[in-house]
Amino acid sequence: MISQEKRREPATPPGPWGQWLDASVNSLHARSLFRTLRPTVPGQSAVEVGISQADIDAWIAGQPPASSPGAAPLPALADAPGLRTIKLFSLNDYLGLSTHPAVRRAAAEAALQCGNGPRSSALVGGYTRWHAELEAALAQLKGTQECLLFPSGFSANLAVAAAICDAAGGGSTGGVAEQQQQGPRQAQQQGAQQQQAQQEQQVVLLSDELNHASIVDGARLGRRVGARLLVYRHNDLAHLESLLQAEVPPGARAAVLTDSLFSMDGDFADLAGLAALRRKYSFLLVVDDAHATLVCGERGGGAAEMQGVAGEVDLHVGTLSKAFGCLGGFVACSARWKDLLVNRGRSQVFSTALPVPTVAAALAALRVAAQEPWRREHVWRLAQRLGSELGVPVSSPIVPLIIGPEAAAVGASMALLQRGFHVPAIRPPTVPPGTSRLRVSLSAAHSEQDLLELLAALRGCGLSFQRGGGRRDGSGGMINRASAPAALDPSSGMQSCHRNSSKPVNTAFGPLYSWVCSMLRSATKIPAISEAVRALAAALPRMLAGASTCRPPLSAAPQQQQRRAYAPQLGAASSYPRLDAPTFRYAVLEAPLAQPHETQGSGAIPRHLLPFAQRMAALGGQRAAGKEATYEAAVSAARAGLPFALVLGTGGTEGAALQLARHYHREFLKAQQAAAGELPHEPLGTAPAGTLPPLLLVAHPYSNSLPSALETLARLQQDGLRARCVYLAAAAGGGNVPGEHGWGTLQASLHAVRVWHALHRTRIGLVGPPSPWLLASAPPAPAVEEAWGPQLIDIDMQELMRGLWGGGAFKQKEVDAVVKDMTDGGSAAAHTHAEGEAAGECPACGTPPVADPAPAARVYLAMRKLVDAHALSCITVRCFDLVSAQETTGCYSLARLLDEDVIAGCEGDVCSALGMLWGKLMTVQVPWMANVAQVDCVDGVLKLAHCTVARSLLSEHEATTHFESGLGVAVKGTLPPGSVTLLRIGGARLERLWVEEGYVLQEQGNGTEWSPRLCRTQVRVRMLGGKPVVEGLLQRPLGSHVVLLRGHHRAALQSYWSQFGPGAAAA
């Protein structure tokens, strides 16, 4: 409860302070820098909050919040009427762990056990076993001897600066009592000693110009105690080396301070280059890994781990407030450095230790991050998708979109807020003038749908982005610039951001650029010409960039090499195109009698359609200009397997659209036959309609475009072809400005067509015939190819068997490595103990022990070899033949393949394999194929069970044996609670679909709900449709298995089914 007592009048500041305070606050208002705290109501999701519309309006108007907390208890978002849900693309909770059930539970249990814990500094009495355990875990994550916790990441950087400047300051912790005990003579002696120490061994700090404020403040404090501070240009290692050579005297102790991932620009420090300089010049390397820890690296160890130089960083500074979703900071280092920090790190010595619940939550977050690597992979997939859709290069989950003018950036941010998205505007003094930006921060808690809605909102605000422009950083990354509409950018001129002036856009002009810049720096000493020189310096990078059109393709640029080094592997089966490729091609058709219009260069397009074409380009569209180019675009789209859209520019284009559609389909068939090594042989008219790619017909509000699109769609449907009409409305205010309606539909349709093409390029390996009990789940290969597209590859079971043992196929060290993964990779120890009852079950939990994991390891190696040899994206195996012939199973092998982005299913169930493949492409979620083991019709609950499940789906897991046989290695785990979608494809010709939504119930795992008489991983799902859904499944089943996907995806799956899948033919 918040007290409503009348607040006392504040004390009047003494004379000069009152005047200064008023002037300072007024100055902030005058410079548009005044900010106000705005309370929100947190949601269950880490990326959702509730805000009243009145508070949103006040925020946009730059006024204080319209509402006050009041006297009522703070409500949950779901129970707070009148609140709008705002999606946050502004947080640092990169893995979405702040609201994870395990993290919340750990904090609550610790709070119930000991409250906030001892409240004093760590040295006095605030240090507990929880603190020690977290420090040990963080040291293991970073690969260091020790770690020390701090109240925040900011205080950690201050402590490091104080410690490394210790000699310069005379080695004093600087407590008040220590200062009071010194007499004048002692102070004089100490001053002389300090001066001598400074002369003998000076401390030189070298800091990247874009470092975080905590590093900057720490370095400034170091300078106050005698250290020398030098700032090198951002990511410019040549400039840094020149300072090391010219400015660091012999015998001085130099320290290089850098962020690893720069929070305002989203680019990485070249830590490998810094490590090489460290070996050459023997400086101390301090890396603030705040934004990269848990997000980057194979184990989440951060940017240094990903660049392979973790062992060459002396002090790893980190925070618990970002990817951990908690609060606090830490320094991972050697034991000797920890000793010094404990005694000389002032911000740690004189601060109260972290509360125990916070520490317990961070420990839980660290465990979850290790057990759920899908979170790290998902946030990188979102980053790739954002770059792909906007057509901009992206190198991290922090995506800066340069607007330029401050007012335009703030206006764009407020326009997004009105649409339900918080994307902050970052402006001076945080960033240089003219480089104000929107900063998009991605989280694993964001869904694919969240991202699509944000993209639609960005375009609804009239923002589009393109490659080029902006500043190329030292690692090759490009900051993305926006083209803003006049409403947001009165100046109508985007200013380029070139803070790293030594790195021109066109590196071929590097020497010329450096020489000119040196001349300009000298010239600026003359006041009369300094203004003109600054203008020339700002324009020079653009002039040099435009001096040559010879630019290497983005796929060969350093930025792409950086992505391979930093980003986790996204899998060969990813449905997303490369960042440097168009995502679709389109043509604008116009009737010959259309009213003449003014053109824009080659490839005429009506002026009133230019805004629509610009937004199509922002979606990744590449337009064909002219009749010949239109046909060439159809050919190139067909050969590249890209979606092809026809924009019906005017009425009277129906015949041309139908002719172009047939040309596109004819070229697609030729490309398919050529890929199969066949000569063109099948006329277009005899090809099954389901094997021809869908078309998108795009209509706009003018020139009878929509009637033309409807007539064309009707004819295509008469011919049995699949197509969709998307209507792009104009803005409500009239004019030629595109509205919001239709763009989300177009994005979703483009994604669906890309999925269609991906399915038609997929090879599903069927290892052995389907299991004999699959009476309804083994459709013939022609039916699969005609209805869905994938090619079924029959692989003899003996090929897998020969791979297990033939000629000593696998070395023992390969087998041992797999065994280690299956037995050490769980959240609990694998059951390999020998004791147990006669039935061979563990007396503690009823789980049978793993007797010999080596045969199961060989099965994985053999399956992996098959996948690679046959170029498979999906594999389904008659796994019970392994039980009878090899006395092992394929459960672990298939589970690991799923984690490696290969769709893998058992029993030869083609329908389930196809459902997993389709679901993964549509949703980017790792699928689970499971038996419907039990039902509860009254409560509308399904109990799913299976021994094969991707470990990345599970919050806890362990290795055990296969349920029916008691052999091999299976996976027993716990699926975290949350929303899910269940689907099943079936029917004699795969013409039926069952898809429903529900949520995973909490009670599962080793509790009372787990049964030893079912497959090992068991999950209870309450269906949103309740009893009718369960009864319908019992009355009209499509098979024994269903496919589970995390999240709500029913609408998207049904839309694909009815528009582009077998459901379109049925309609």
Give the residue with greater pLDDT, 475 vs 929. 929
| Helices marked H in 775-909 | 781-787, 797-805, 812-824, 854-869, 880-886, 891-899
Residues 6+ apart with CB under 8 A from 707: 651
Cβ neighbours of 820 (radius 10 Å): 12
What are the DSSP E strand ranges found in 655-813? 695-699, 723-727, 763-767, 791-795
Q: For the chain, what percentages of helix, strand and coil (3-state, to nearest 5) are there?
A: 40, 15, 40
Amino acid 626: pLDDT: 59
> Would you call 172 exposed, middle or buried from its count of C-beta atoms within 10 A (0-12, 13-18, 19+)?
middle
Give me the DSSP letters along 893-947.
HHHHHHHTT-EEEETT-HHHHHHHHHHHHHH-PPPEEEEEEEEETTTTEEEEEES
CA distances from 403 to 345, 425, 433, 657 (A): 40, 9, 11, 38
Residue 63 pLDDT > 90: no
Q: Which of 41-45, 329-333, 866-870, 960-964 has the highest mean pLDDT?
A: 329-333
Largest CA distance in the chain: 104
Averaged pLDDT for residues 356-381:
90
Superfamily of segment(s) 763-1066 = L-fucose Isomerase; Chain A, domain 2 (3.40.275.10)
Evaluate whether 324 touches 138 at the Cβ level (below 8 Å). Answer: no
Residue 609 backbone dihedrals phi, psi, to 5 degrees: -100, -5
Averaged pLDDT for residues 115-125:
85
Give the residue with greater pLDDT, 67 vs 9. 9
Residue (of 360, 363, 383, 373) closest to 300 by Cα position: 373
Tokens (6 digits) for 714: 């009707």
Averaged pLDDT for residues 243-270:
91
Give the length of the chain. Answer: 1067
Residue 53 pLDDT > 60: yes
Amino acid letter for position 614: Q
Q: How many Å apart are CA 974 and CA 101, to the nearest integer? A: 13
Residue 534 pLDDT > 90: no
Averaged pLDDT for residues 937-962:
85
Residue (of 676, 696, 672) closest to 684 by Cα position: 672
Measured at the alpha carbon of residue 574, what is the angle toward residues 571 and 577, in degrees to the nearest 5? 125
Per-residue pLDDT tens for 660-687? 999 888 888 888 777 777 665 555 556 6
Helices and strands counted in the chain (H then E) = 35, 33
Q: How many Å apart are CA 733 and CA 671, to the nearest integer? A: 45
Amino acid 376: pLDDT: 87
Measured between its terminal Cα atoms, the distance across the chain in Å is 58
Amino acid 995: pLDDT: 94
> Would you call 1021 exposed, middle or buried from its count of C-beta atoms within 10 A (0-12, 13-18, 19+)?
buried
Measured at the alpha carbon of residue 419, what is the angle toward residues 416 and 420, in degrees to the nearest 5? 90
Distance, CA of 515 to chain centre: 40
Averaged pLDDT for residues 509-513:
37
pTM passes above 0.75: no
Amino acid 637: pLDDT: 85
Evaluate whether 757 touches 691 at the Cβ level (below 8 Å). Answer: no
Q: How many Å apart are CA 1045 and CA 1063, to the nearest integer? A: 21
Q: How many Å apart are CA 436 and CA 429, to the nearest integer? A: 10
So what CATH class is 101-173+196-371? alpha beta
Residue 784 pLDDT > 80: yes
Residue (of 710, 714, 746) closest to 728 by Cα position: 746
Tokens (6 digits) for 700: 């706009």
The pLDDT-based confidence of 483 (bands split at 50, 70, 90) is: very low
Amino acid 569: pLDDT: 30
Residue (of 203, 207, 193) closest to 227 by Cα position: 203
Tokens (6 digits) for 664: 């596109």
Amino acid 723: pLDDT: 92
- Residue ranges covered by each domain of the chain: 32-87, 101-173+196-371, 373-505, 584-593+604-728, 763-1066
Residues 6+ apart with CB under 8 A from 1053: 918, 919, 922, 981, 983, 993, 995
Amino acid 290: pLDDT: 93
The pLDDT-based confidence of 88 (bands split at 50, 70, 90) is: very high
Share of the chain above pLDDT 70, in %: 74
Tokens (6 digits) for 411: 């206006």
Share of the chain above pLDDT 90, in %: 26
Task: Specify the range with the lowest mean pLDDT, choosing from 139-143, 243-247, 836-840, 964-968.
Answer: 836-840
Give the residue with greater pLDDT, 692 vs 620. 692
Per-residue pLDDT tens for 713-738? 999 989 888 999 999 887 665 556 66
Amino acid 737: pLDDT: 62
Residue (of 127, 128, 150) closest to 138 by Cα position: 150
Residue 300 pLDDT > 80: yes
Give the residue with greater pLDDT, 465 vs 419. 419
- DSSP H or E run through 34: none
Find where tokens 């068997």 sit.
Answer: 801
Q: How many Å apart are CA 444 and CA 362, to the nearest integer? A: 17
Residue 902 backbone dihedrals phi, psi, to 5 degrees: -110, 125
Evaluate whether 738 touches 612 at the Cβ level (below 8 Å). Answer: yes
Give the residue with greater pLDDT, 8 vs 149. 149
Residues 6+ apart with CB under 8 A from 567: 380, 383, 384
Amino acid 17: pLDDT: 83
The pLDDT-based confidence of 6 (bands split at 50, 70, 90) is: low
Tokens (6 digits) for 292: 């990269």
Give the residue with greater pLDDT, 560 vs 586. 586
Superfamily of segment(s) 373-505 = Aspartate Aminotransferase, domain 1 (3.90.1150.10)
Averaged pLDDT for residues 552-562:
27
**Dihedral Cα 514, 520, 523, 527, nearest 10 deg:** -150
Give the residue with greater pLDDT, 522 vs 143. 143
Find where tokens 């760590």 sit.
Answer: 122
> Is residue 876 helix, strand or coil?
strand
The pLDDT-based confidence of 155 (bands split at 50, 70, 90) is: very high
| Helices marked H in 570-626 | 610-618
Q: What is the average pLDDT value for the chain, to the nearest integer?
A: 77
Tokens (6 digits) for 772: 């004999």
